[in-house]
């Protein structure tokens, strides 16, 4: 598959793909909204380069030098490019070329999780900067909404958020580690099938190892404690494992829609409903969790048994 791919699109400067990905990643500085969307495609670009027939030691060296230059001018951009883009791409690549189980979707978010926790604990000025940024965004959004003609009952919600903006900002800071992990793992999950297709490998459903259910349950019970630190650990672990089980449930939903030959339009409608309704997000995550016991994908219908 990869041979035909490169023959067909041989005009693309494959040796520069990591540099192109790095340049696109810098859009997070100028427009975070656009950068957020573009970042979803950057691991795909990196995987394309890693599997390229034109890749060699020289091209690797050139791109490493480019990354070093970027780190000189903007250490934060280069550092987070490595954590959010390069690490998922490398894990997916080596998972597809080795027989070892690297669990790239699960492990790719660990480095950024660790870095975020250390930064929040060791850098009080970083916490204050995040706090001020969240409060300013809440004030700006509240002011913009209040200028519009909105129903009276919705103004109550806006007033509540505005009056509790400091608590909301503090909660957002505490949840930053799990949100960083979930975002990076999502990038790996989106790119996973693409990485395996390059190697003509069978694409298996994403599964959370059974052993991870134990820390998930322990983290959930920690919410009953009175200690703030343990509560924050509980919130973060709950979000992290809920994200992983959501991926598992989403893979199952796609599996059954393919199994029953659901029309593409209806599939799109199902995805819109899932991502637009918080209840559906929870339902899909529970679907993935219970799959560890019931193995829904292995169930066979009566017509399949014949």
pLDDT-derived band at 247, boundaries 50, 70, 90 = very high
Q: What DSSP string runs through the chain?
A: -HHHHHHHTTTS-GGGHHHHHHHHHTHHHH-HHHHHHHHTTHHHHHHHHHT-TT--HHHHHHHHHHHHHHHHH-HHHHHHHIIIIIHHHHHHHHHHHSSS---HHHHTTHHHHHHHHHHHHH-HHHHHHHHHHHHHHHHHHHHHHHTS---HHHHHHHHHHHHTHHHHHHHHHHTHHHHHHHHHHHHHHHHHHHHHHHTT---PPP---GGGHHHHHHHHHGGGSS-HHHHHHHHHHHHHHHHHHHHHHHHHHHHHHHHTT--HHHHHHHHHHHHH-HHHHHHHHHHHHHHHHH-GGG---HHHH-
Please state the rounded mean pLDDT for residues 185-214: 90
pTM listed for this prediction? 0.87
Q: How far apart are CA 193 and CA 92, in angstroms?
A: 10
Judged against a pLDDT cut of 50, whether residue 9 lies above it is answered with no
> Which of 151 and 41 is assigned the larger pLDDT?
41
Burial class (CB in 10 A: 0-12, 13-18, 19+), 85: buried
The answer to whether residue 145 scores a pLDDT higher than 80 is no
Tokens 């339009």: give the residue. Answer: 265
Q: How far apart (Å, rounded) are the C-alpha atoms in residues 236 and 240?
A: 6
Is residue 303 scored above 90 in pLDDT?
A: no
- Say whether pLDDT at 94 is over 60: yes
Torsion of CA 82, 83, 85, 90, to 10 degrees: 80
Angle (nearest 5°) at CA 58 between 52 and 60 = 60
Torsion of CA 236, 239, 242, 243, to 10 degrees: -110
CA distance 269 to 263: 10
Q: Provide the pLDDT for residue 243.
A: 96
pLDDT grade, residue 301 (50/70/90)?
Answer: very low
pLDDT at 156 over 90: no
């Amino acid at each position: 598959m990869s041979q035909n791919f490169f023959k067909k699109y041989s005009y693309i400067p494959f040796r520069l793909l990591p540099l192109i990905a790095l340049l696109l990643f810098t859009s997070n500085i100028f427009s975070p909204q656009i950068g957020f969307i573009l970042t979803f495609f950057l691991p795909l670009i990196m995987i394309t380069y890693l599997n390229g027939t034109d890749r060699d030691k020289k091209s690797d060296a050139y791109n490493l030098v480019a990354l070093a230059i970027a780190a000189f001018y903007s250490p934060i951009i280069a550092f987070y490019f490595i954590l959010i883009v390069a690490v998922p791409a490398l894990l997916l690549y080596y998972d597809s070329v080795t027989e070892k189980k690297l669990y790239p979707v699960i492990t790719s978010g660990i480095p950024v999780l660790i870095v975020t926790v250390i930064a929040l604990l060791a850098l009080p000025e970083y916490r204050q900067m995040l706090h001020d940024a969240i409060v300013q965004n809440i004030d700006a959004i509240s002011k913009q909404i209040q200028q519009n003609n909105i129903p009276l009952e919705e103004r109550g919600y806006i007033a509540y958020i505005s009056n509790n903006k400091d608590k909301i900002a503090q909660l957002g800071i505490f949840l930053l580690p799990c949100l960083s992990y979930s975002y990076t793992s999502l990038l790996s999950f989106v790119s996973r099938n693409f990485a395996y297709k390059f190697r003509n490998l069978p694409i298996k459903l994403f599964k959370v190892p059974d052993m991870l259910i134990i820390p998930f349950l322990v983290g959930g019970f920690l919410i009953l404690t009175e200690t703030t630190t343990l509560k924050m650990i509980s919130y973060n672990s709950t979000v992290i494992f809920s994200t992983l089980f959501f991926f598992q449930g989403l893979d199952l939903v796609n599996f059954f829609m393919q199994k029953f030959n659901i029309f593409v339009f209806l599939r799109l409608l199902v995805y819109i409903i899932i991502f637009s309704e918080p209840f559906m997000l929870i339902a899909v995550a529970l679907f993935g969790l219970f799959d560890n016991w019931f193995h829904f994908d292995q169930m066979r219908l009566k017509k399949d048994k014949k």
